Amino acid sequence: MEILFLSHRFPYPPTRGDKIRSFNMVKHLHEAGHKVTVASLARTAEEAADCQGIRDYCDDYVICEVRNPVQAVRMGLRLLTSEPSSMGFFYSSKLQKEVNRLLSEKNFDLIVVFSSTAAQYVSHVTDIPKFLDFCDMDSQKWLAYSAFKKWPISMGYRLEGGKLEREEKKICHQFDLCSCATDFEVDTLDGYGTGVASAFFPNGVDFDFFTPGEGDYPRHSISFVGRMDYFPNEECVLSFCEQIFPQLQAKYPDVTFTVIGACPPSNIMALNDMPGVTVTGTVDDIRTYVRNSAVMVTPLEIARGTQNKILEGMAMGVPVISSRTAARGVDAVVGEHILAATTPDEYVAHISRLFDDEGERDRLAKAGRERVTTHHNWPRAMSLFNEAIERCLTIAKG
C-alpha cells in the first residue's frame, strides 16, 4: 500500500516515548513492504538534520521547520476560542501545504496519524481510509495537571483539558478507526460514546539493548529515569525527595537516589544539595546508571499510557516500584512482575523489602524482564497494529 504517515513530532531519532512508538510504526510499515511517506515537524535546524536518519525506514519524507516563539503565538491566539491551544502549537501552514501537495500527487491507500494534534492536517480528507493512533488521551493529562497547579494556572489547564476532550470527540468522527497504547486509554476513548471503532496495541521495548547488568550494585541504591523538563517527572521527583527519601535515610544512612534525565530545571538541580541525591542531567547511556541501582522508582501521579522507563527498567532486570497510576500502562501483574504504591509509607515498605531481601529482589527482577519480553515486544505490538489496520480498511470499505 501507499501510506501517508503524519505525526506531531518527527518520528526520528526515537529518543523519547512518543517518538519511539511512532518510529516503530513507521519502521514496521516499511519493513512490511508498504511505501511510506512521513510528514512532520522539526523545531530547530539541528533537529531537522537529525531527522534525516528516517530515510532508511521510509520511501519519502517531509520535514517542516517551525520556531517555538511562533508556535507559542499560535497557542495564544486560541486561548479565547473553542479550539485547543495544543492544536496551535503543533500547527504549521507550511506542513499543511506539503500535506495537500502529497495528497494531490500520490494515490494513498491509507493515512495513518499519530497523536490527535496531527489529525488537523487531514481533517478534510474523506476519500481515503484514515487510522488515528491517539496513543494517550491527552485531554485527561491536561485535566490531571490542573490538580497539581495553583490558581489561576490550574484554571488554564482545566480549560485546555476540557477543550481538548471536546476536540478528541470531534476528531473520532473523522477517522475509520482510532487506537491507544493501553486498554485503559481505550476505555476512556470508548467512554466518549462516539461509536468509533477502537483498538489498542502496546508499546514495546528493545530487550536486546536493555539487558540486565552483570556486575554488583550498591545494595541501598534507587534510580529514576525521565526527561526532567516534563512536569509529571519534575513533580514526582520533588515529592519523592520530600516525603519518601528522608524516611529511607532514617533506616538506611547510606541510601542513594540518582535522578537520570535531560534538561533538569533549577529546582531539580538543587536536589544535588541533599545528602545521597545525585541529579545527572543528560548522560551518554542510561543503562549504566539504572543497572547500578537496586531499585527503580516511577512514582508518577500524573501518568497516561505506557511509561517506557518502566519497560526499560524491567528489561534491565531492575525491580520497578511504580505509582498505581503509572502501573496501569504496563501489561504486568502488580506484585508478581512489578510493585505499586500510593502512599509514602507504601513506597518505603516496598523499597525496604527489596533492600532487605535479596532473594525477593532477584525474583522480581527476573519476573519483570520475562514479562516485558513476552508482552511488550515490538513484534507482538506490531502484529496487533496490523490487525487494527485490517479492521480500519474493512470499515472504510463499508
145-156, pLDDT tens digit by residue?
Answer: 888 888 888 888
Helix (H, G, I), strand (E, B) or coil at 376: coil
List the alpha helices (DSSP H) in the chain.
17-31, 45-51, 68-77, 85-89, 93-105, 138-145, 153-172, 183-191, 231-239, 245-251, 266-269, 286-291, 308-315, 324-327, 344-356, 358-375, 378-397
Instruction: Name the DSSP letter for residue 144.
Output: H
Domain boundaries along the sequence of the chain: 2-203+377-397, 221-375
Residue 248 identity (one-letter amino acid)? L
Exposure class string for 273-283: b at 16+ Cβ within 10 A, else e? eeebbebbeee
pLDDT at 175 (0 to 100): 98
Q: Which residues of the chain have pLDDT under 50?
A: none
> CB pairs under 8 A, 24+ apart, for 75-84?
82/163, 82/166, 83/163, 83/167, 84/160, 84/163, 84/164, 84/167
Q: Which CATH number is 221-375 given? A: 3.40.50.2000
Between CA 184 and CA 189 the distance in angstroms is: 9
pLDDT at 285 (0 to 100): 94
pLDDT at 148 (0 to 100): 83
pLDDT at 15 (0 to 100): 86
CA nearest neighbour of 137 among 169, 104, 94, 176? 169
pLDDT at 73 (0 to 100): 83
| Same topology between domain 2-203+377-397 and domain 221-375 | yes
Q: Which CATH number is 2-203+377-397 given? A: 3.40.50.2000
